[in-house]
Structures are given as C-alpha cells and as structure tokens.
Amino acid sequence: MDIVNFYNFVRNIFQEMKIKILIASLIAIISPVKPMIYIAIFAILLDTCFGIWRSVKKSGWGSIKSRKLSHTISKSFLYTLAIMFVFLVEKYIAADLVAEFISIELIMTKVVALGCVFVEILSINENYEAVTGKNIIKSLKNFVLRAKEEADKFKD
C-alpha cells in the first residue's frame, strides 16, 4: 500500500466518523422530543388503519391505492419536521421568553405535537363515523356532560 492509498483510506475513515458523529449529535439534540414524535406517528398510523377500514367497507379492497398510502409517509415526515423545528426554536431561541410566562417545559413543542395528534383524531372520528354512523367525539362530549350532571345531582 503506497502513501496515497493509505492517505485516502484514512481520509475515508475520518469522513465516515464525521458523518456518524453528526448523526449521533442530531439524535442527542432531539432526544427530548422523540416521545412526541412517536405519539404523532402512532396517531398517523392509527388514522391510516381507520382509513383503510373505511375504504374497504365502502368500496372494497380495490379502492386502496399506493398513492393514497404514500401520504402517510409524507405526513409523518412533515409532522416530525414541524415538531423538531418548533423544539429547536423553543429550546435555543424562545426558551427564556416562554419561561417568563409559562413554567411548563417545552410547551410550544407540546402544543404543536398535540395539534398534529388532534388533526389525526378528527380524521379517525370522520372515518369511524363514515362506517358506523356514530360520532365518537359527540358521544364522548355527551358522556362527559351527563357525568357532570350526575355529579352535580350527587353534590346537591
């Protein structure tokens, strides 16, 4: 092995190490938001399952297209980027300002993650209602109102 080949070999090893260190650093930086990202992706997958169920019930298995399923991947990517972006802004730019008003850690990031999950819940409800005719959100709201009324009667 001549000196040029050895130099190229060592240079390639260092380049690979730099990439691995960069990836490890990025993973370490975003580690506080990984649970929020996982929850958002789980909501997307659950919505996808309900969407497939709706399609099959309404139009049969032939109605399922890979183009529609590919939206799951792009939506997962966009939600992940949105959560990570807000986290980075909150952590490195707005943390002190937000902390003056609200003492909840990562509140902006949690609100964005909750917004992503809420959109998926609405979609799940829409799919469920299309198949069964029952609105889960309305049923839950009625249940809470009845429970509150019963609790008020019990207090009197």
- Three-state SS for 102? coil
For residue 84, give both structure tokens.
């990570």
Residue 135, burial from CB neighbour count under 10 angstroms (0-12, 13-18, 19+): middle
CA distances from 13 to 7, 9, 23, 116, 131 (A): 10, 6, 15, 40, 56
What does the pLDDT look like over 82-117, one tens digit per residue?
A: 999 999 999 999 888 888 888 888 999 999 999 999
Provide the phi-psi class of 134: left if phi over 0, else alpha when psi is between -120 and 50, else beta.
beta
Residue 1 confidence (pLDDT): 60
Closest CA to 122 of 72, 31, 57, 50: 50
Residue 152 confidence (pLDDT): 82
b or e along 108-125 (b: 16 or more beta carbons within 10 Å of the residue's beta carbon)? bbbebbeebbebbbebbb
What does the pLDDT look like over 114-154, one tens digit per residue?
A: 999 999 999 999 999 999 999 999 999 999 999 888 888 87
Q: Is the pLDDT of residue 48 over 80?
A: yes
- Structural domain spans, the chain: 32-155
Judge whether 57 and 131 are in contact, CB under 8 Å: yes
Q: Is the pLDDT of residue 156 over 70?
A: no
61 pLDDT band (50/70/90 cuts)? confident
Q: Which residues contact 125 (CB under 8 A, 6 or more apart)?
A: 135, 136, 137
What does the pLDDT look like over 20-35, one tens digit per residue?
A: 888 898 889 889 999 9
